[in-house]
Structure 1
């Protein structure tokens, strides 16, 4: 009789468990192991998320145990609730063709995907470094697919805006640019060198072959125009560049943001007509203090703000580096700041930070939370 009662209790508990779980969304715990549907830690670092037809698609770098070079490619995971993630496989694989830009052992970083409704195409851009060349290539690479899960077809890579100066550069600034000579600034990091960088020394240097493009972001505005935001000029200056209507090339229109400011890891969002950009400094794999900028136009002028981070390790962005700001579908003014906790000694074990963006007097701030759920946005 006791065995029968025990069995009934177990069955009752099993029947109740799903309803308990259905009482609310699963918590998000930054810095912990995040298993996918196979129980394996999600491997999508430096990534971004696309919402399409009721589902979220998370794209990111597949990191191996011993190297940050691309040995697999760019991964895709999907979810309808942002906590349960299905491994959709490799969206853009590396190749064994030594003549290809994306041969195994190259560097593929910060992939972002946007959807072009005009031609119903998913467009991926990412930072590419050629195999065996260190970080000297500094190229932007593009791939396309008719499905959000891929496979994506590699299109090619380039340095953006070859032969083009920033469209907002005045005639007076162009006249100063003409006087800059690289041989006069052979010693880096001096006040005179920084001044020359701010005036466009490296823009002029890279003009014939195109501007350097490393850490990057994509942004589609309310009018459907898309923009490519990337660290340029040896990571000293951010560029904001307009993409063509098919999102596959650059129009030649771009501006510089925070010249000589040493910013990377750009993450952008828009609220109440104001563009907000969260970046990091340049300290390799080591975390540093986040920066923040705002503007009423994507082209600027941009205003600098203090770090938005609040709480333990706020001075080093909670131990991470930003990668994306996700706007939650169906919730007004709901944004998630996404960041990576890099672990270069074992890259595959890098962890994720996801925290809600809050606002005080219209200014964003990000407060550390050990655990939170999407219900947070309903309680504000």
Structure 2
């Protein structure tokens, strides 16, 4: 009996140690740029991500990277993690799996899937994922957006289609006289002042008018009225487009606008505060970081006004060695937003790190300051 009691005491002690260790190892703060592990202690693999909040839980979707330089190809698909506090994330598995190699599918293994975002449609009860897609073996020439849907937030998501947005339609903020221009790329010297002027006046919009506009780095936004919008880098990454989605979020209405024409922006992330829309983007320097940009508008279709680099302090000129992916509204707190960004590691893609920082508002503009460690009490100040 004594042996049994001793055994039970030993087991109970061991369980206490394990449980205590588990509790102590849970994340208590955001530590930008450090290795961020899930509840199993494994580095979170959800790059270029976005977050959905649904029925009391956050869901983080992102690119599943693999090792080495080829790790930026889609060899697995889109990962999903869940959390109730934004700090501790449980791996939910692969939300959207790539199709088998040789299948001929747009999302077959070896294609490029980037920046997946998921929104929930209250009317249809469907979870809708859009992402930037490059077809296998075509480099970045396809410049397509793609769609998948599910009945559950964690998936599995079923691939529906890929396309280029808004063929045969003009942006709402496009001058009538620009539609009739006949000048083409062959008539211009690249990156000259005349070339930049013609890009701003629809050079590439006209070129891609019938096939649909290019769509690369992207995000989704659902406004207070339930209308959803797709924001993406188009026109050879020279101009951002914002396009209204249909009521079921599965297509485009044909209503769209250009943002900062010829401004060379990508990596869009958006939030709304006090009836104003704020957009944070980056310049285009491949996998290398650069200075972020910010913009404000009273209407999603513009006009948008530049507010300059939102990052301040040491490292601001490279956005703290990161690039924007999404902006998270913190539930239960007023005007609390988190800037999500990635530190890309093209030589070993799986080692990419996450930089999450609180957004401050100063004199009507978003401001990002480096924090070695912080938690949500930051927003209670």
Task: Please give the TM-score of this superposition, normalised by the length of structure 2.
Answer: 0.92
Alpha-carbon shift at residue 17 of structure 1 (Å): 5.7
Matches within 5 A, 1:1-380: 26-66=28-68, 67=70, 68-96=72-100, 97-169=102-174, 173-182=175-184, 184-378=186-380, 380=381
Calculate the aligned-residue CA RMSD, in Å.
Answer: 2.1
Aligned length: 367
Cα–Cα, structure 1 residues 373 and 157, in superposed 2: closer, same or farther, change >3 Å? Answer: same
Cα–Cα, structure 1 residues 174 and 16, in superposed 2: closer, same or farther, change >3 Å? Answer: closer
Alpha-carbon shift at residue 88 of structure 1 (Å): 0.4
Separation of aligned partners in 1, 2:19 and 2:225:
47
- Contact 1:51/1:57 (8 A) holds in 2: yes
The 3-state SS of whatever aligns with 1:204 is helix
Separation of aligned partners in 1, 2:304 and 2:345:
32
Task: Please give the TM-score of this superposition, normalised by the length of structure 1.
Answer: 0.93
- Contact 1:25/1:374 (8 A) holds in 2: no
Alpha-carbon shift at residue 186 of structure 1 (Å): 4.4
- Contact 1:25/1:375 (8 A) holds in 2: no
Separation of aligned partners in 2, 1:183 and 1:328:
45
Alpha-carbon shift at residue 335 of structure 1 (Å): 0.3
**Deviates most, 360-369 or 73-82:** 360-369
Alpha-carbon shift at residue 98 of structure 1 (Å): 2.8
Could you list the runs of 4 or more consecutive aligned residues of structure 1 that deviate by over 4 angstroms after TM superposition?
Answer: 13-18
**Structure 2 regions of 5+ residues with no counterpart?**
1-5
Cα–Cα, structure 1 residues 15 and 78, in superposed 2: closer, same or farther, change >3 Å? Answer: closer
- Contact 1:328/1:336 (8 A) holds in 2: yes
Separation of aligned partners in 1, 2:282 and 2:207:
25
Alpha-carbon shift at residue 361 of structure 1 (Å): 2.6
- Contact 1:194/1:260 (8 A) holds in 2: yes
